[in-house]
Amino acid sequence: MNWSDTFEIVDILCEQFPDVDPEKILFIDLMNLVLSLEGFEGKKENCNERILEAIQSLWIEESN
């Protein structure tokens, strides 16, 4: 799994962190959550604001 696997990332985030409010999470915290996921192989330096916005938006959508 890499940064481009937005749907897979969000599915796992929803499952593993149901108590986290995706509307209030800081990008640095979101990045660290993604980096901590089992099977995630993306590198921190390949992450950017656009990627985190996409993950956060989809996570908000999925949590509603």
Could you tell me the pTM of the whole model? Answer: 0.94
Burial class from Cβ neighbours inside 10 Å (0-12, 13-18, 19+) for residue 60 reads middle
Range of the domain at 39: 6-63
* 17 is a domain residue: yes
CATH code: domain of residue 21: 1.10.10.600
CA–CA gap between residue 8 and residue 45 (Å, rounded): 20
For the chain, what is the domain count? Answer: 1
Residue type at position 34:
V
**Amino acid code (one letter) for 16:** Q
pLDDT digits (tens, 9 = 90+) for 29-63: 999 999 999 999 999 999 999 999 999 999 999 99
